[in-house]
Chains A and B, each alone.
Chain A
Amino acid sequence: MKSDGFSAANARIGYIAFNTFREAVRDRVLYNLIAFAVLLSGAAVLVGEISIDIERLVVVNLGLTAVSLFGVVVAIFIGIGLVSKEIDKRTLYTVLSRPVRRWEFVVGKFFGLTGTLVVNTFFMALGVFLALLYVAHKFDKMDLWVLIALYFIVLQFLIVCALALFFSSFSTPLMSAVFTFALFIIGNLAEDLRGVAEITHGAGGWLATAMAYLVPNFSALNVISQVAHGDPVPGRLILYNSLYAGLYSTMAISGAVLIFQRRNLK
């Protein structure tokens, strides 16, 4: 038997993550790619016929928005069931009766889901670039910024996965889906919320400020419009967004672990 050290814990997290990924693939989660491909190829053909000089703008905007929405839907619907499904079906019993700590299970599940979403995003990104090639007949240097926008979308998925996992550690799947999706919507308005906080005074101002900083700032992670116009993304924003997504996800996962550690599995 392996010694129960750090490397053994990492190995167990890896096994759980791989099993989560395998489950998602076999449950035909990646079938959403077919719908995405149909949508994007249809749009590319249509745009190629009706747009003049704005084909790239339309394809990048439409493509990246679709990547983001498809991914968020997948993240929420798998994420909310990751823990609750295992409790309901009691598959968790035979996992936690082994030398697997509860935090390892939660972290393994998180990595498994993010892995699924990264693979999903990779194929959708491939579709976006093929559509771009179809309408523009060549790649441009500014298309590299599309990669950065895709990276930011993956960072959004990290946060959404972590939130879905957090809510599902104590709530029902339906409520977890509602909470996570609500936070995704509010998070996309985070900059506006901060604007409101700045012009509001007194207790309301405090509350608005607290809300603005508590909800995930998805608007900072959305550079779709910017890259669609071919504008560059500052390196500083890439760094800040990476740190922000890492920190926010870690906090949400830590919350999920803290709750799950104390939960009775009925």
Chain B
Amino acid sequence: MAAIEILDLEKSYLVGFWRKRPKLALRPLRLTVEEGEVFGFLGPNGAGKTTTLKLLMGLVFPTAGSARLLGFTMDDPRVKSQIGFLPEQPYFYDHLSARELLNYYGQLSGVPAKGRGAKVEQMLARVGLSDSAGMQLRRFSKGMLQRVGLAQAILHDPKLVFLDEPMSGLDPVGRREVRDLIQQLRSEGKTVFFSTHILSDAEALCDRVAVIHQGELRGVGAVAELTSQRKGKIEIVFYAQAHRVPAALITLGAEARVSGNMVNAVLPEEQQEAALDVLRRERLKLISLTPVRSSLEDYYIQKLRTVEGQTGESEGEEGQKEESRKGVGV
């Protein structure tokens, strides 16, 4: 069963004071996320990521289309106890302590009174807030609030977790911890759908990603496949002599960069043997030779540059549906 099935979900707002006119925030979106997947929803600020999440959470209502979460329609109250949600830049009741807040959310989520306290403590420990559990949230830093946000999202042991920019406002250590937490959720068999514009996080965590821009889905792909495609280039690294790049290597079309006593040179794959000959001739010591593979960033940039109307959907509705379920294709 699909964890998330988005069926042509669309949202427009009326703008203007006298003459109201619709402004499209999300063009019809069709996307499927399987159970147990970690799915990255990528796009620049204002792309429509948060609108999509708000629609799925029932915070705003769609202009058209629908969605199913864990087999339930998204407005079915039964699904709410099985999902967790971390909004972007979360803000909580600042008169409460972290412990009181989690207890309150536990009550609202239907976590039984017996064992709720222990669950709250366990969650506080999991996000590293045990020492500050009794402090009022008004004294929390942004990073600490983000941790509280993560704790409240998973407190009731949901099957499906939505995280809107979960790394936002975190320092490198905090980001690492959130990454570990998402990995743990994956190992527990939970489905994680998170929006981000930090591509390294998506590349490290996601099974699949979707790119959205200007309210339009630009493509969906499996990260493993996207990052394994060879680009017809090789990168060679060698020890330089007198911090210089051999002229013969430049004539082979190499783009070289000297860093300390090492040189990184990228050149066409067909020049591999010629480049190695140059190194032998010049008696330069080779450190590594690796094929250059496409990165998530390449895919992302390519999709952002896609001209409107030439998206994955144009390759056929069924094709897109299949692609959004299985992997690459756009």
Q: Which residues of A contact B (CB under 8 A)?
A: 1-2, 4, 8, 11-12, 15-16, 19, 22-23, 26-27, 89-101, 262, 264-266
Contacts and interface: CB of A to CB of B under 8 A. Distances in A.
A152 to B, nearest CB: 32
A93 B54 CA distance: 9
Contacts of B108: 12, 15-16, 95, 98-100
A265 B57 CA distance: 11
7 contacts: A1-B110, A4-B78, A93-B59, A94-B105, A97-B57, A98-B80, A99-B78
B240 to A, nearest CB: 54
Nearest to B111: A1
A92 B112 CA distance: 22
Contact of A98 (B78, B81, B96): B81
Contacts, number: 89
Contact of A15 (B84, B92, B95, B107): B107
A57 B323 CA distance: 82
A96 B93 contact: no
Contacts of A16: 108
B87 interface: yes
Nearest to B57: A97
A22 B95 contact: yes
Contacts of B112: 1-2
B77 interface: yes
Interface residues of B, number: 34
B110 A91 contact: no
B60 A90 contact: no
A264 B60 contact: yes
Given A26-B95, A94-B87, A99-B110, A264 B61 contact: yes
A265 B81 contact: no
Given A11-B107, A15-B104, A90-B87, A99 B95 contact: no
A92, A99, A100: most-surrounded residue (chain B CB, <10 A): A99
B14 to A, nearest CB: 10
A97 B95 contact: no
Contact of B54 (A1, A12, A27, A265): A265
Contacts of B92: 91, 94
Interface of B: 13, 54, 57-61, 77-78, 80-81, 83-85, 87, 89-93, 95-96, 104-105, 107-112, 149, 152, 156, 162
Given A1-B111, A12-B108, A15-B107, A96 B60 contact: no
B58 A96 contact: yes
B330 to A, nearest CB: 30
Contacts of A265: 54, 59-60
Given A15-B107, A23-B93, A96 B77 contact: no
A45 B132 CA distance: 48
A147 B37 CA distance: 63
B306 to A, nearest CB: 28
Contact of A97 (B85, B96, B107): B85
Contacts of B57: 93, 96-97
Contact of A89 (B59, B78, B91, B110): B91
A26 B77 CA distance: 32
Given A90-B87, A90-B90, A262-B61, A27 B81 contact: no
A145 B111 CA distance: 46
Contacts of A12: 107-108
Contacts of A4: 77-78, 81, 110
Contacts of A99: 77-78, 80-81, 108-110
Nearest to B153: A94
